[in-house]
Amino acid sequence: MLQREAEFYGPEDSTEWLRVRMTKLNLFSLEELAELTDIDRGTISRYFHHTRRPSIDAIEPLCTALQVSPETLLKALGAIPI
């Protein structure tokens, strides 16, 4: 039996996922998402560009604003395999 290597979202995949998700929810800027989550726009950008890992406290507001489960968000952030 062959062992498959785990696949993760890369930075480009994560930013595209965020763009599509925000469009679906009629959010048209990171400023809007930042306002909903009380997380700085630049910090959100760094999360999805994989230059910073979100704190545990950031997960819940992002999940609520983006209307996704923690598992889905962590996959989109490249933190867990898809």
Residue 18 lies in a domain: yes
Residue 27 lies in a domain: yes
- Domain residues for the domain of 52 are 11-76
- Distance of CA 38 to CAs 8, 66, 76, 77, Å? 27, 13, 20, 18
- Could you tell me the CATH number of the domain that includes residue 65? 1.10.260.40
Distance CA 3, CA 57 (A): 34
> What residue ranges of the chain have pLDDT lower than 50?
none
Q: What pLDDT is stored for residue 2 in this prediction?
A: 60
Domains of the chain: total: 1
Residue 41 lies in a domain: yes
Q: What pLDDT is stored for residue 6 in this prediction?
A: 87
Residue 82 lies in a domain: no
Q: And the tokens for 69?
A: 């489960």
CA neighbours closer than 13 Å in the CB half-sphere of residue 28? 1
Residue 52 lies in a domain: yes
Q: What pLDDT is stored for residue 33 in this prediction?
A: 98
Residue 40 lies in a domain: yes
